[in-house]
Structure 1
Amino acid sequence: MASPFDQSSYQVRFDWGVEGLRRLAASDVVIVVDVIRFGSNVVAAAAVGDHVVLSDAHAVSANGAAVAIAASELAHDPVVVAGALRNAAAVARAVMAEQHARGGRTSIAVIAAGEKGADGVRFAVEDLLGAGAVIAALSDLGIDHSSPEAVSTAESFRALRRAVKHLMTASGSGRELEGDERHADVKAAAAIDDLDVVPVLRDGVFAAL
């Protein structure tokens, strides 16, 4: 029997972390969103032709990497991609191409990594915005049969789009890196659709589609 929380009646689904990925119905495509450390670094590397080994990415950010690893281990073998603010539109176009190639409606799980702590996954505003950007971009292309959870996430991004940079630098994740050389990564990660690249996970390695 389907769970009321698996969002199986919708094409576009949204949840948080590894637990959220497992809670959702099996999806053809899993989009991993961990904006500041994982997603943006993987996207930037793919943009210049570099490959990112998942085990190396795990050392940079265990949160996004953990979701990617869990997705790669699913029995139904979904397509796993890294999404962020920087490549949201490119990811949406790649999903549309995947749907055309399959010749039928393609189900999509957008997973915000959040921040793993002692008490479980902590809400991370940057991952909410990144996931919302991807879902909004999918909707703009007509892939809009979305769960209430996904719709709410997309509309949060639409409403807050102009404030993304401020929200990210002022958030807990941004403030945590104040005084750290990695703080510059926060502003870079706040750019919206400045990279036209989609990193896809194959055999433990992220590389451009």
Structure 2
Amino acid sequence: MDWGVAGLARLAPAEVVVVVDVLRFSSTVIAAIEAGEPVGPDAEAWATSINGAGVARAAAATGAVVLAGGLRNARAVADAVMRLQEGRGARTGVAVIAAGELVSTDPGAPLRFAVEDQLGAGAVVDALAAIGIDHCSPEAVAACESFRALRGAVRHLLTASGSGRELVDRDLRDQVVAAAAVDAASVAPVLRDGAWVAA
């Protein structure tokens, strides 16, 4: 587990990359896939989060299978990873990349820690561990344990977070609350030929 495009580059190559940008990239893509709408690179979902979209594009360039994950679909992502591993018939490296928040619209800008992405990454790691994919880095363990300890407070933490407050102030509280609903979605969006579709 690491943070942002730079974190993806720091990690050893993985066969699967899970991009976690809870507010709003991952949640927007998940909602679109739930509605049966494939999401292409020019769609609104790509524009709502430069960082989440940037991580996804960088991950796709490595040849990895790229999934969009978060609190809302952690178990579905874990199940998709298991199916991919079974289909490969071999050990499968999984990188969980928390997007964080860029401090400006410049793609090279530094990241701001985003608690929603820490918790979302932890939810994905926890779901992977629950189905037996559990050889974790210290960073993944820390994210997982923070999610486990704070699971009951996730909704409050997201609505009170810096990113959450920005969205609440824009009358988008319902989107924040939906993003905080752990395992409410049964879809795992995968990036194929430049578009997000159901895995």
- Normalised by the shorter chain, which TM-score bucket? over 0.9
In the other structure, the counterpart of 2:170 is: 180
Superposed structure 1 runs of 4+ greater than 3 Å apart: none
Is residue 99 of structure 2 the alignment partner of residue 113 of structure 1?
Answer: yes
Query: What runs of 5+ residues in structure 2 fail to find an aligned partner?
Result: none
Where 1:106 maps in the other structure, the secondary structure is coil
Partners of 2:117 and 2:135 in 1: how far apart? 21
Aligned sequence identity (%): 60
Instruction: Verify the 8 A CA contact 2:22 2:117 in the aligned structure 1.
Output: yes
Q: What's the C-alpha RMSD, in Å, of the aligned pairs?
A: 1.0
Point out where structure 1 has 5 or more consecutive residues left out of the alignment. 1-13
Equivalent residue for 1:71, pick from 59, 63, 66: 59
Is the deviation greater in 156-165 or in 43-52? 43-52
C-alpha distance in 2 between matches for 1:23 and 1:155: 23
Deviations for 1:58-110, whole angstroms, at most 9, x for unmatched residues? 21111110100111112xx1100100111100100110111111111100000
Aligned pair partner of 1:94 in 80, 102, 107: 80
Report the equivalent of 2:181. 191
CA distance in 1, matches of 2:88, 2:11: 21
Question: Residues 6-36 of structure 1, C-alpha deviation per residue, up to 9 Å, x if partnerless?
Answer: xxxxxxxx00000000110000000000001
Q: Aligned partners of 2:190, 2:176: CA distance in 1, in Å? A: 23
Cα distance in 2 between the residues matched to 1:179 and 1:96: 39
- Write the mapping of 1:30-49 to structure 2, written as runs, cut at 5 A: 30-49=17-36
- From 27, 31, 37, the counterpart of 1:50: 37
Name the CA distance, whole Å, in 1 between partners of 2:49 and 2:30: 14
**What secondary structure, in the 3-state scheme, does the structure 2 residue paired with 1:109 have?**
strand
Equivalenced residue count is 194
State how far apart, in whole Å, the 2-side matches of 1:149 and 1:110 are. 10
| More divergent stretch after superposition (42-51 vs 177-186) | 177-186
Deviation at 1:179, TM superposition (A): 2.8
1:202 aligned residue: 192
TM-score, length of structure 2 as denominator length? 0.95
Question: 83, 92, 115: which one pairs with 1:125?
Answer: 115
